[in-house]
Amino acid sequence: MSRQKLIAGNWKMNTSLAEAGSLATGIADGLAADAVAQVVVCPPFPWLAAVRGQLAGSAVQLGAQDCSPFAGGAHTGDVSASMIAELAGWVIVGHSERRAGHGETDALVNAKARAALAAGLQAVVCVGEDLPVRESGNAVPVVLGQVVGSLSGLSAAELGRLVIAYEPVWAIGTGVAATAGDAQEMAEAIRGAIQAGWDTAVAGGLRILYGGSVNPTNAHEILIQPDVDGALVGGASLQPDAFLAIVAAAPR
């Protein structure tokens, strides 16, 4: 099954309002008319509305970096999926920086994914092992456990509106990406787990991204792996030229 490549930029807690505007404009203006990949940028919450305006009329889509598992009410500081859906089409859930920094469990990530899908968003559900797990040789079972826990109870139709991002924690922001072979191995294992838990059609249609120190130099080799359907890009998504080079590295 052919799956359109997806390149998503995770701006994290970076950019001023002015910088967000020029970054969005730079990406929108620079995106090649014949780009084959789908492109999403995920600015910080306060800039979503402004960046939405900057992207108007371009093919670049908008996402947020997190959402509340709750629909609304007394949750000071949180942002609901339905609020995001008024401005954007996508949301990242379960990023390792939220799992580590905010104690997010697979169960909470599952609740956030459900909230996102219920609000009509497309979700990027992140999983990935830390260095001790990688060194222990248990990366595949640990990541598959995260996948099953984070997606538990979702229907085949719901899985059709989400993307999994495999992001090994030791590769995020370190400049040390996983090898293309390691990214492929994990993506293939994740697809196998989806096939086992749902069915072949769901597994064949599901997009699995790699994230962790993706840059213009390593992007092509990673993106040509048969089970790697795109990239979630942090640092390199803050420079239009680097981000657009990664978009351009996606094979047809």
Start-to-end C-alpha separation, the chain: 13
Dihedral class, residue 15 (left if φ above 0, else alpha if ψ from -120 to 50, else beta): left
DSSP state letter for 213 = S
Using the rule CB under 6 A, give the single segment among 102-110, 133-141, 147-155, 226-234 that binds ligand PGA: 226-234
The residue whose two tokens read 């094979």 is 251
Angle at 105 between CA 39 and CA 171, to 5 degrees: 50
Residue 185 known to be catalytic = no
Active site annotation includes 167: yes
Q: Does 167 bind ligand PGA (CB under 6 A)?
A: yes
Q: Does 43 bind ligand PGA (CB under 6 A)?
A: no
- Asked if 172 is part of the footprint of ligand PGA (rule: CB under 6 A), the reply reads yes
Identify the CA nearest to 164 among candidates 125, 203, 211, 206: 125
Choose which of 5, 6, 7, 10 interacts with ligand PGA (CB under 6 A).
10
Distance in Å, CB of 95 to ligand PGA, minimum: 6
Applying CB under 6 A, which of residues 43, 63, 168, 212 lies at the interface with ligand PGA?
212
Residue nearest to ligand PGA (CB): 234
Quick one: which of 175, 232, 182, 238 has its CA closest to 5? Answer: 232
Q: How crowded is the C-beta side of 248, counted as CA atoms within 13 Å?
A: 13
Strands 162-166 and 122-127: parallel
Q: Which of residues 87-116 bind ligand PGA (CB under 6 A)?
A: none
Q: Catalytic: which of 129, 135, 167, 188?
A: 167
Per rule CB under 6 A, is residue 218 in the interface with ligand PGA?
no
Looking at 55-63, 69-77, 205-213, 217-225, which segment touches ligand PGA (CB under 6 A)?
Answer: 205-213
Q: Tokens 């909230």 map to which residue?
A: 115
What span, in angstroms and rounded, lies between the C-alpha atoms of 94 and 98?
Answer: 6
The verdict on 214 binding ligand PGA (CB under 6 A) reads yes
Interface positions with ligand PGA (CB under 6 A) = 10, 167, 172-173, 211-214, 232-236
Q: State the catalytic residues.
A: 95, 167
